[in-house]
Structure 1
Amino acid sequence: MDTEIINTTPLENTTPLENINISNNIIHLNNNYMNERDVARLVHSSLYSRKTTTQRHVVESYFDANAVFENPLLMMESHNEIINLFLLVSTFFFAITPEIHNVTDSPIAGNHHIVCIDSIVKYRLPLRFPPIPCLVKFLLRSNNKLFYSCNNEISLRIFSKFEFNEQHKIVRHEDVWSVKDLIESLPIIGWLYAEVGRKATGLVTDGFVNMSQELIKAWNNFDI
Structure 2
Amino acid sequence: MPALPESIFDVCYLVFAIVSGIRLLKYANGRKDIRLFGWMALILGCGDAFHLVPRILNYWIEGDFTAALGIGKLVTSVTMTVFYLLMEYARRERYHIKGEKPILIILWVCAIIRITLCCFPQNGWTSAEPSLLWGILRNIPFVIMGVMTVILWLRSAKQDKPLKWMWLAVTLSFLFYLPVVLWAQAIPLIGMLMLPKTCMYIWMIVMFRKTAHS
Q: Same fold per TM (> 0.5)?
A: no
Which structure carries more helix by proportion? 2
Q: What's the TM-score, normalizing by structure 1?
A: 0.29
- From the two aligned structures, give the one with the greater strand fraction: 1
